[in-house]
Amino acid sequence: MGDLTTLYIDMNSFFASVEQHEHPELAGRPVAITAIDADSGSCVAASYEAKAFGVKTGTPVWQARKLCPSITFLPSRHRLYVRYNLRIAEILDRMAELEHIRSVDEFQFRLSGAATCVDGALELVARMKAALASEIGPAIRFSAGMGPNHLLAKIAGKLEKPDGCQWLSPRNMPERIAHLRLDDLPGISKGVSAKLERSKVYDIASLYRLDPRHARRIWGSVEGERFVRALQGLDIPLISSARGSYGNSKVLGPDRRTVREAYLVGRWLISKSTARLRRDKSVAAQLMLSVQREDGGWGQSLKCEASCDTAYFLKLHRTLWEQQLKARGPSTIFSISVQLGRITRLEDRPGDLLLGIGPAAATRGEKVSELIDMINSRYGSETVTLGRHRSHPGFFERG
């Protein structure tokens, strides 16, 4: 097993590429997307053919026309780009676990098994690129970055454009990105850059060697420490705000719309959500289940002990389904959503004298779940499961 855990995909000139796909006659020609059809407007996106002439995001229309007389301007169609975003997510999620849709043109995947090694990750990316070219078209391309966390994967994804693929880890850091400026890194604003300069941190190598506790003082917050630790290769979340819930929703395919099949899909979503809880060292004290039925919507929640034990939440999940069927009877199920709420950090959970558990200590069930996570990470995402569930192709997180 290797040290790569995250794959970050950045679509290449996404808006313009979608328009080139929609208008094959524009393939290989300079294209710019505008919000306002007037010389006073600006370009919100540009194809690589236009970028070669110096046209980029924010370039005024009049200036873009001067830089590239042959350029074609098209109005922005955001709903169209969102539809392509979802289509891309559905295709790529068949090959790796899609953790987050970061924006309309950026996706984050969790790597496991052979893909945690460089050769395996490169092979996975090649298959992803081939799938998009085959199922959508050759105009839809992306650059990929792999790393032991979100930050390094995202930086790696910016190193080779267009249509590139690079990786970063402690094995090639900081030398691989020594040519970058500090403000080239995501998360280094002008204000943070100025603080670093005042602390005599002028380059990537100096930032990489910085004591994370010193970085906390420079930033004036814990985010400085988290940033430097991530830069050094630790797999820690980069989201500064506390997460309110963990969950997933799924529109069910025609063969998954019976109560039995929908219930099994729900068990799969529970397993996914609790695994994310454990990865982030968090616990939840509420389970919410929502289903869209042929006869209308239904939703209910249960408050519970703060936990990240998959088996515990699977029991609660069964209880909610039993309550639903008792109250309303069976029906065709079109979609299902599970959410784990009332999130706290595991380190903040008090002990339980009756159960003999100390503060921040994992229960027996949570330890079993962690062991299953380790096995599945090494040998495949469903090598070990707690009872039967039904995975559903095309899943991606909406929580």
pLDDT (tens digit, 9 = 90+) per residue, 276-318? 899 888 999 999 999 888 887 788 889 999 999 999 999 999 9
Nearest CA among 98, 81, 137, 111 for reference residue 4: 111
pLDDT score of 394 more than 50: no
Active-site residue, from 25, 49, 97, 106: 106
pLDDT digits (tens, 9 = 90+) for 366-388: 999 999 988 888 877 788 888 88
Mean pLDDT for 115-126 is: 96
In this predicted structure, what is the pLDDT of residue 395?
37
3-class DSSP assignment, residue 353: coil
Neighbours of 320 (CB within 10 A): 21
3-class DSSP assignment, residue 296: strand
Global confidence as pTM = 0.63
In this predicted structure, what is the pLDDT of residue 187?
83
pLDDT score of 235 more than 70: yes
In this predicted structure, what is the pLDDT of residue 398?
37
CB 125 within 8 A of CB 154: no
In this predicted structure, what is the pLDDT of residue 117?
95
Average pLDDT over the chain, rounded to whole? 89
Q: DSSP label at 138?
A: T
Q: Do domains 1-167 and 246-379 have the same CATH topology?
A: no
At 14, is the pLDDT very low, low, confident or very high (cuts 50, 70, 90)? very high
In this predicted structure, what is the pLDDT of residue 38?
63
Instruction: Name the token pair of 269.
Output: 């979503």
Instruction: Name the token pair of 339.
Output: 């959410």
CA atoms within 13 A on the CB side of 179: 4
Nearest CA among 242, 323, 337 for reference residue 290: 337
pLDDT score of 10 more than 70: yes
Nearest CA among 370, 271, 302 for reference residue 361: 370
What are the boundaries of each domain within the chain?
1-167, 175-231, 246-379
Long-range contacts of 384-389 (CB under 8 A, 24+ apart): 385/271, 386/271, 386/310, 386/311, 386/314, 387/267, 387/314, 388/264, 388/267, 389/264, 389/265, 389/267, 389/268, 389/271
Measure Cα distances from 210 to 204, 217, 218, 236 in Å: 10, 11, 10, 17
Mean pLDDT for 60-74 is: 94
In this predicted structure, what is the pLDDT of residue 238?
54
Q: What is the CA radius of gyration of the chain?
A: 24
**Preceding omega of 186 cis (within 30 degrees of 0):** no
Higher-pLDDT residue of 253, 91 = 91
In this predicted structure, what is the pLDDT of residue 23?
96
Distance (Å, whole) CA 337 – CA 297: 11
| Architecture, CATH, for domain 246-379 | 2-Layer Sandwich (3.30)
Distance (Å, whole) CA 381 – CA 93: 13
In this predicted structure, what is the pLDDT of residue 40?
65
CB 384 within 8 A of CB 375: yes
In this predicted structure, what is the pLDDT of residue 68?
96
In this predicted structure, what is the pLDDT of residue 246?
86
Neighbours of 39 (CB within 10 A): 12
Nearest CA among 196, 222, 220, 193 for reference residue 209: 196
Cβ-based burial of 151 (10 A; exposed 0-12, middle 13-18, buried ≥19): buried
pLDDT digits (tens, 9 = 90+) for 131-174: 999 999 999 999 999 999 999 999 999 999 999 999 999 999 99
Distance (Å, whole) CA 273 – CA 399: 9
Higher-pLDDT residue of 367, 42 = 367
pLDDT score of 97 more than 90: no
Would residue 106 show up in a list of annotated catalytic residues for this protein? Answer: yes
Determine the CATH number of domain 1-167.
3.30.70.270
At 49, is the pLDDT very low, low, confident or very high (cuts 50, 70, 90)? very high
Distance (Å, whole) CA 368 – CA 365: 5
